Structures are given as C-alpha cells and as structure tokens.
Structure 1
C-alpha cells in the first residue's frame, strides 16, 4: 500500500538510529510491525483508544 503522510523527522531519525536502518520507509514498517507484535501479545498493553488524536 502506498500512502503519503507527514511524520516527525526527529521521530523517524530516532527509529532509524534504534533499528540501525538507513531507509525511512523500512524504519516505519519495522515500527508498525513491532507495534502490532506487542499488541498481539497483550492487547491491554496499548490502550489505542487513549492514543486517538494524540502524538505518541
């Protein structure tokens, strides 16, 4: 899926530093996969409703 979104440059840079990835698209995909993995392990660990409309 192709989407165009505005992301916080500092946040992307931090994800890239943490993961060691040099491509922003790969870093975003890695972060999303990790988010889903954590949620699948324990759905209560992330109150996604509380995150609606708020910067994480």
Structure 2
C-alpha cells in the first residue's frame, strides 16, 4: 500500500510540474503519457509477487 501511495504522490507532482511548465499540457500529451505508462507498468510489475524484482 505504501508503494502505491508513494507512486501516486510522485506521479501527481510530476504531472503538476508538467502542467505548470508546459502550456496546454494534458494527460494525453506525449510528455505526460509516456512516463505515465512506464510508471503504471513498473507499479503493476511491483504489485505482482513474481515480478516484484523487475518492477523495483
């Protein structure tokens, strides 16, 4: 649970930073979408016991 909460908090900071610094930024903009997909994949890998080392 703590890793999930930390991931969400870190992603929120990343997204707020992008919105503040890049005009017209949305969640579907490439600058936000690509890192978001990578973060989601890493979190999903970490949540599964077999792939936890890969996700970490």
TM-score for the superposition, normalised by structure 2: 0.38
Q: Normalized per residue, which structure has more helix?
A: 2
Higher RCO (C-alpha under 8 Å, 6+ residues apart):
2
